[in-house]
Chains A and B, each alone.
Chain A
Amino acid sequence: MTQLPETTERKLGLVIDLDTCVGCHACVISCKEWNTGGYGAPLADTDAYGSDPSGTFLNRVHTFEVKPENQPAMVTHFPKSCLHCEDAPCVTVCPTGASFKRSEDGIVLVHEDYCIGCGLCAWACPYGAREMDAVERVMKKCTLCVDRIYNENIPEDDRVPSCVRTCPAGARHFGDIGDPDSDVSKLVAERGGFDLMPEQGTKPVNKYLPPRPKQQSMGGEDEPVNLAALAEPTASGGFLGWLDGALDRLG
């Protein structure tokens, strides 16, 4: 059914911290690893060891550079996957009913046995969250690891999306963004989490936390700290301290 639910009981989604993400791509790899053996068809790679490798991924990390005025340029790593939008344009365009949004938790999924591979949903998504699998010829997208989060056969710690579980920096958070008292909602409120492309009217569930403002300078007034000097090995006190000083005095 490609009509969107009026409301969903919960709004499960991700909160991604652009301040903390170090751009290691571990979430990309763990996503690929879990989802190539999980829900639906595997995520194919074509010409993986040839001259024109290409593959299906549900999560990708872009890296952007911003140049604020009177400050050095900032680098921001930017993981991007399906935002599980409340007004998901990818769902309503689907002619077969393969794309749907669940009323219980708001997850947007593809019923792959119904998908005709027309690609219209990928056109409708402004975020590029959907990729057609070159081998299965059906549309693939982030499932929010629906086969992990409710899976009672795995330890409770693991019942979060694979990307969240694997992130070594703790930059990815999973929870009910529709519940104002949830940890993720508090995080969004505290850090000023924002929507991507709000002007597209998709009402994304996933939120992004902005990079924290950079401190202007670590040293005195306008004096930059001499980091190289700080890295010089020093010894203080004791015999080694006396020796260090004595050798310095020798020139």
Chain B
Amino acid sequence: MHPAYSVIFFTVSSGAGLGLLAFMGLGPFAVEDASTAFLLTAFGLGFAMAVGGLLSSTFHLGRPERAWRAMSQWRSSWLSREGVCAIATLIVAAIFAGLWLFFGLSSAFLGMVTTIFAMGTVWATGMIYLQIKAVDLWHRWLTPVCYLLFSLAGGMTLFIFIHALFTGKAGPELSSMAMVMLLIAWAVKMFWWMGANRAPTSTTESATGLGYLGKVRLLEKPHTGSNYLLRELGFQIGRKHAQKLRMIAVVLGAVVPILLILLAIPAPMDVLWLGLAVVSHLAGMLVERWLFFAEARHAVMNYY
């Protein structure tokens, strides 16, 4: 599958931003006497990343001016549900953040709704890929689970960074929570990768129905040049490079951030280390998301 940069940036940025908003939703239970600067930064960054990602996702549309229509088919389409959920999250989170920031009211109820809606949006993103049966790699329950866990891990990493920025310390409890989430998310992702080598659901034999005669191979392509199908669905990265990139993703996304968070617990330069942990994690996520598309094989390639 073709890795579109707008979609990669969207899922990484919105994923982490919505994760951060989800943790801010739990704020009324965890954060005591939050300073205005802390709230402004945390909500500001959460909104900027979530909205920035959503805007970026419209760049891959052929007709972005009609994007509003995507809200209408929530009864059948996960893409539509994602859109509805994202808008609902932003509205509820805006009310929740506004009340907290300007009136000092941290509503536990609105916070919970923000958390649930934010995670619902990320879950819907994962479900878009799960429902594509023509792509074996995506059509698994672990796909939306990975999206959700990465969003939580990214959100938590961002949260402890901002927390340390304004309170001077991330604290061992929050730091260990972030490390555990990073560990779980990447462990599940590695499990997801392990299932990537299963035999394909469809083959050239089943695609042509000629398998009863013997081994089928393409003799002549239907067109001499390229076409939309080959550009959009035909992109696939070689196994050799995929292995190396998986390593890079795990090192940047998990190993380096966890070491930096550990380093930040006793160190005086904790904010710097935590900031670097955020940057490294997001870089690892960009590689992971690029691979998510580049490794996926579409059933239509059985005809080519």
Contact check, A116 vs B63: say whether CB atoms are below 8 A apart: yes
Q: How many residues of B contact A (CB 8 A)?
A: 58
When chains A and B are docked, how far (Å) is the Cα of A93 from the Cα of B80?
8
- Whole-angstrom distance from the CB of A217 to the nearest CB of chain B? 18
Q: A96-B69, A119-B232, A126-B202 are in contact. Are A138 and B227 (CB under 8 A)?
A: no
Enumerate B215-239 residues with CB–CB distance to A below 8 Å: 215-223, 225-229, 232-233
Contact check, B208 vs A199: say whether CB atoms are below 8 A apart: no
Contact check, A62 vs B222: say whether CB atoms are below 8 A apart: yes
Contact check, A96 vs B216: say whether CB atoms are below 8 A apart: no
Cβ of A5 within 8 Å of any chain B Cβ, yes or no, is no
- Whole-angstrom distance from the CB of B91 to the nearest CB of chain A? 19
Contact check, A116 vs B213: say whether CB atoms are below 8 A apart: no
Cβ of B290 within 8 Å of any chain A Cβ, yes or no, is no
Contact of A68 among B213, B225, B233, B299 (CB under 8 A): B213
Contact check, B228 vs A122: say whether CB atoms are below 8 A apart: yes
Closest to A89 in B: B133
**Residues in A whose Cβ lies below 8 Å from that of B208:** 64, 76, 78, 196
When chains A and B are docked, how far (Å) is the Cα of A61 from the Cα of B219?
11
A54, A128, A138, A199 — most chain B CB neighbours (10 Å): A128
Cβ of B29 within 8 Å of any chain A Cβ, yes or no, is no
Contact of B233 among A69, A75, A122 (CB under 8 A): A122
Contact check, B62 vs A3: say whether CB atoms are below 8 A apart: no
**Residues in B whose Cβ lies below 8 Å from that of A52:** 225-226
**Residues in B whose Cβ lies below 8 Å from that of A3:** 75-76
Contact check, B79 vs A115: say whether CB atoms are below 8 A apart: no
- Whole-angstrom distance from the CB of B163 to the nearest CB of chain A? 37
Contact check, B210 vs A66: say whether CB atoms are below 8 A apart: yes
Q: How many residues of A contact B (CB 8 A)?
A: 68
When chains A and B are docked, how far (Å) is the Cα of A54 from the Cα of B223?
9
**Residues in B whose Cβ lies below 8 Å from that of A126:** 133-134, 202, 207, 298-300
When chains A and B are docked, how far (Å) is the Cα of A119 from the Cα of B7?
12
Does more than half of chain A's interface fall in helix, strand or loop, or is it mixed?
A: loop
Contact check, B72 vs A200: say whether CB atoms are below 8 A apart: no
Quick one: CB contact mask for B151-162 with A, threshold 8 Å, 1 for yes? Answer: 000000000000
Contact check, B209 vs A196: say whether CB atoms are below 8 A apart: yes
Contact check, B73 vs A97: say whether CB atoms are below 8 A apart: yes
Contact check, B61 vs A128: say whether CB atoms are below 8 A apart: no
Cβ of A174 within 8 Å of any chain B Cβ, yes or no, is no
Contact check, A95 vs B207: say whether CB atoms are below 8 A apart: no
Contact check, B66 vs A61: say whether CB atoms are below 8 A apart: no
Cβ of B78 within 8 Å of any chain A Cβ, yes or no, is yes
Cβ of A166 within 8 Å of any chain B Cβ, yes or no, is no
Q: A116-B70, A138-B62 are in contact. Are A197 and B206 (CB under 8 A)?
A: yes
Enumerate A58-99 residues with CB–CB distance to B below 8 Å: 60-69, 74-76, 78, 80, 89, 91-98
Quick one: CB contact mask for B272-304 with A, threshold 8 Å, 1 for yes? Answer: 000000000000000000000000001110110
Q: A95-B73, A96-B72, A131-B228 are in contact. Are A195 and B135 (CB under 8 A)?
A: no
Cβ of A146 within 8 Å of any chain B Cβ, yes or no, is no
**Residues in B whose Cβ lies below 8 Å from that of A201:** 133
Contact check, A117 vs B61: say whether CB atoms are below 8 A apart: yes
Cβ of B131 within 8 Å of any chain A Cβ, yes or no, is yes
**Residues in B whose Cβ lies below 8 Å from that of A122:** 228-229, 232-233
Quick one: CB contact mask for A89-122 with B, threshold 8 Å, 1 for yes? Answer: 1011111111000000000000000111111101
**Residues in B whose Cβ lies below 8 Å from that of A78:** 208, 303
Quick one: CB contact mask for A168-204 with B, threshold 8 Å, 1 for yes? Answer: 0000000000000000000000000011111111000
Cβ of A165 within 8 Å of any chain B Cβ, yes or no, is no
**Residues in B whose Cβ lies below 8 Å from that of A116:** 61-64, 66-67, 69-70
Closest to A78 in B: B208
Cβ of B241 within 8 Å of any chain A Cβ, yes or no, is no
Q: A97-B72, A199-B206 are in contact. Are A64 and B218 (CB under 8 A)?
A: yes
Cβ of B201 within 8 Å of any chain A Cβ, yes or no, is yes
- Whole-angstrom distance from the CB of A44 to the nearest CB of chain B? 11
**Residues in A whose Cβ lies below 8 Å from that of B60:** 118-119
Contact of B134 among A57, A124, A136 (CB under 8 A): A124
Contact check, B134 vs A200: say whether CB atoms are below 8 A apart: yes
Contact of A54 among B206, B219, B227, B298 (CB under 8 A): B227
Cβ of A132 within 8 Å of any chain B Cβ, yes or no, is yes
Cβ of B178 within 8 Å of any chain A Cβ, yes or no, is no
Interface residues of B, Cβ cutoff 8 Å to A: 1, 60-64, 66-67, 69-73, 75-80, 83, 128, 131-135, 201-202, 204, 206-210, 212-223, 225-229, 232-233, 298-300, 302-303
- A and B contact pairs by CB, cutoff 8 A, 23 listed: A18-B210, A62-B221, A66-B217, A69-B214, A74-B213, A80-B222, A80-B303, A92-B77, A92-B131, A93-B76, A93-B78, A93-B79, A93-B131, A115-B62, A116-B62, A116-B69, A117-B62, A123-B1, A126-B202, A128-B229, A128-B300, A131-B227, A199-B201
Interface residues of A, Cβ cutoff 8 Å to B: 1-4, 18, 23, 28, 52-57, 60-69, 74-76, 78, 80, 89, 91-98, 114-120, 122-128, 131-132, 134, 136-138, 194-201, 208, 210-211
